[in-house]
Amino acid sequence: MNDMAIQCNLTNQELFGTAFAIEAAASGVHAVQPAKGARGRIVVESLKVEFESGKSNTVAVDGVSLRVEPGEFVSIIGPSGCGKSTVLNVIAGFTPASGGTVKVDGKSVDQPGVDRGVVFQQYSLFPWLTVRKNVEFGLKTQGISQSKRETIARTFLGLTGLLAFENHYPDQLSGGMKQRVGIVRALVTSPQVLLIDEPFGALDAQTRVVMQEILTNMW
């Protein structure tokens, strides 16, 4: 299986890709044959995102098209400010598109959904919740019972070596541990698509390698 990096500038350019994690610090495309009926297909066509800024508007992304098949993993690499995070935020449903279309499994994206898990650049954990309660948050919004939420959360925490810290708060964890919690929180709801926005950029090289292995093994 070959690795490939996609170097990109997300303005006035078409990209035809594979998975969708955006990761500026690492690269790799793993292409696999999707199973029949598999979910997680992303189709972006002629995407444009424009932000109002005073008297003039700023075009962050323009003319971007890509297609990601289920089971594929893609990294898109580009300089700071080229629009990588903006594209990810549109697919996640956080940022509205100014033009073009974004669909996941044939449905237009206009808001966040449990079918798309997101791991952010920052740790983005709720500081007033324990590690386990942070992981359970998405499950709670789905109406899953407390006992089942706890069982699922503890299982995932065990897979990442965090079970002993389930009752700790985020400010009691190291940077790598916080990111592990963020990854678990994104995966625990069984999303069809995992969107990753440079989650390991602030980590040291050794921790970064460990985190990448944990992510690829769990996904």
Show Cβ contacts of residue 143 under 8 Å, excluding neighbours closer than 6 positions: none
Give the per-residue pLDDT at 37.
64
Residue 208 in any domain: the answer is no
Give the per-residue pLDDT at 147.
93
What are the φ/ψ torsions at residue 163 (nearest 5 degrees)? -60, -35
Residue 50 in any domain: the answer is yes
Give the per-residue pLDDT at 216.
76
Give the per-residue pLDDT at 119.
85
Give the per-residue pLDDT at 163.
94
Which residue segment(s) compose the domain that 100 sits in? 1-112
d(CA 165, CA 132): 8
Residue 4 in any domain: the answer is yes
Give the per-residue pLDDT at 35.
54
| Domain CATH number, residue 25 | 3.40.50.300
Residue 211 in any domain: the answer is no
| pLDDT averages per 10-residue partition of the chain, 219 residues | 35 34 39 61 92 84 89 81 89 93 93 88 88 94 92 90 94 88 88 85 76 74
Give the per-residue pLDDT at 36.
58
What total of structural domains would you count in the chain? 1
CA distances from 36 to 71, 141, 157 (A): 11, 30, 31
